[in-house]
Structures are given as structure tokens and as C-alpha cells.
Amino acid sequence: MVERVEYDELGLFHENAEEYGLPYDGPPVVRRVRVEVAPGRHLSALVWKDDEPALVLLHGGAQNAHTWDTVALALDRPLVAVDLPGHGHSDGPAQAPAGRLGVEQDAADVALVVRQLAPAAHAMVGMSLGGLTAIALAARAPELVRKLVLVDVVPGITGDRARHITAFLDRPSSFASLDELLELTARFNPTRSLSSLRRGILHNAEQQEDGTWTWRWARHRRPAENLSPPGGPDHLYAGLWKSLTSITVPVVLVRGMREDSVLGDDDEEALLRRVPTAHVVHVADAGHSVQGDTPLELAAIIRDVALGEKG
């Protein structure tokens, strides 16, 4: 008989609060919603609080909306965290042209979600793939993005800098047990607590009927031949520079400074050369996943640069 692992999606926030010393006087007001983006296709999102959302948060590739949980708890503001197409509880992406990832199409889908759930948000925060999607969205629907915060990503990063991430993802997508998946994830994230990694896995993977585990994003994984993005494999999404330079709203880059960031000084210089008004914030103790490595510091940065709240 298969032993099932209990999972209450909205019942783990107390763990986030306890791990980071945040006040917790009961479950936050969070609900999951679905937005139809095409006939029979829906994107899913977590809506925090009942007031008009002040922020839209877009996660990175192979992540999901729960990657922002600790940041959202620390911010204590109404916001929307979206599951990108093919991630979390969202349906798969629309078919992308051969040889390309569908960032532009994903941005069109996300725009529909933002227009319905958070049309007056003060800022959009996007990490990695979410940041690239946010750039494409801001160029496509500028009325929905009033400030753009990019978390450890700019267009045109070199594939070599992201190789440690793709190597982690380029593995079999099925695992015999939760413990096997946890062991693999812990080797990739040695600075994280096992409790936080287990929580992340429960949000980002699902147990199958036979007891095995599969990443949620792997359900919609495109064939390998479709994983070469615009600009070629060595300069990821370089074509989005044109979109970024067309944006007239304030742009902020939050850059992780550990060696597991995907950005180098040349990437930061490339941003400032093209967008001289961009504001750059360095986070010394964070790698690529700033929201996972230093969520409280990222929340403070978002309060400052995105919401204009000092202290």
C-alpha cells in the first residue's frame, strides 16, 4: 500500500514565519484563483489579502507562486503571486514556435491575469524567467506595469552562468520518494534548512498514484529541441534588450552577489549602459534565488524601491 504524504497548500505559512522570526497570529488571508487565458486554458495565482493588490510577483523557471511566501508574509501587503504557464497549478503554455521558449506568449497570458486581478499594482517583481516575462509584459502592456523590479536577471545572460541551474533541472523528472527528492534538492541548496526545502518540494512537486514524485513543472516540459531561446543558447533572451529599453517606467535590478548568481559585473554594466536610470541593489548573502536565500532583505528592498516605504 502506498503511503501518502499529507499536503495542505495553505497550511504551511506558520513554518515560514517561524523559520524567519516573523510575527504570526494566525493564517494569513490567501486564496487561490484561476483566470481563463484561452478557451480551456487557465493560469492560477495566489491572492494575498482582500484589498487592491499593490504588487505582482512572478517566479523563476521551475518554481511556483509559493517561492514568494516568506517575502509576502514579511511585506504584509495585498499582492498577487502568479504561477507562470506550465508551473505550479497553471495549465501548460501555448505552443511556442520551434526552437524558442514562449516568453512573449507567456507574457500575453500573464497580462490577462494582471488585468483581471491587479490592474492598479504599484510594481511588478520578476525573478529569473519571471523577470524576463515581466520585461516582455511591460513592453506589451505598459499600462499594467508602473515599476519593474528584476530579481537576478537581465536579458542576454550567458548560458554558462546558468549551467548549474540547468544541470539540476536536466535530470529525470520522476523520483522514488520524497526523501530522494529532498536529498537531491539539499545537495543543490546546501545553505537552506531541510524544513524549508521540504516545504518547497511539497509546493513544487506532486505525489503520483504509485507513490513516486514528479515536479509540477515537468508535466508540461517542452522537448529539448524547443529549449533554445531567442538570441541563441550562449546569450539567453538577448532579444529582450530591445523590449527593456523601450520601457519608460523605473527599473530596479536586485542582484545576488554569491557565486551561484547568474549575473556578473558585465551584465550589470550592460543594463546600466542601455538603461542609465536603472537602480541596482546588491544582496551580499544571496545567490540567484534572492527570495529563497534572503527573503527578509528582499522584502525590505521591495518596500523601499517598489512601494516607497522606508525602514
> What is the CA 192 to chain-centroid distance, rounded?
18
- Considering the candidates 89, 243, 288, 293, report the single residue annotated as catalytic: 288
Q: Is residue 203 annotated as part of the catalytic site, yes or no?
A: no
DSSP secondary structure letters along 161-207: TTHHHHHHHSS-SEES-HHHHHHHHHHH-TTS-HHHHHHHHHHHEEE
Nearest Cα to Cα of residue 286 among 265, 253, 258: 258
- Considering the candidates 69, 106, 109, 152, report the single residue annotated as catalytic: 152
The cell for 256 is 545576488
Residue for grid cell 498577487? 80
Residue for grid cell 524544513? 195
Q: Are strands 41-48 and 123-127 parallel, antiparallel or unpaired?
A: unpaired
Nearest Cα to Cα of residue 277 among 232, 239, 244, 240: 244
The cell for 203 is 509546493
- Considering the candidates 128, 196, 261, 289, report the single residue annotated as catalytic: 128
User: 306 φ, ψ to 5°?
Assistant: -100, -35
C-alpha distances (whole Å) from 227 to each of 102, 162, 242, 298 are 10, 14, 21, 30
Please enumerate in sequence order all residues whose Cβ is within 8 A of that of 182, keeping only pairs 6 or more positions apart, or say none: 194, 197, 198, 201
Q: Is residue 66 annotated as part of the catalytic site, yes or no?
A: no
Determine how many CB atoms are found less than 10 A away from the CB of residue 157. Answer: 24
Task: Indicate the DSSP class of residue 77.
Answer: S
C-alpha distances (whole Å) from 161 to each of 101, 142, 194, 226 are 19, 30, 26, 20
Encoded amino acid at 131, one letter: G
Q: Is residue 282 annotated as part of the catalytic site, yes or no?
A: no
Residue positions annotated with a catalytic role: 128, 152, 288
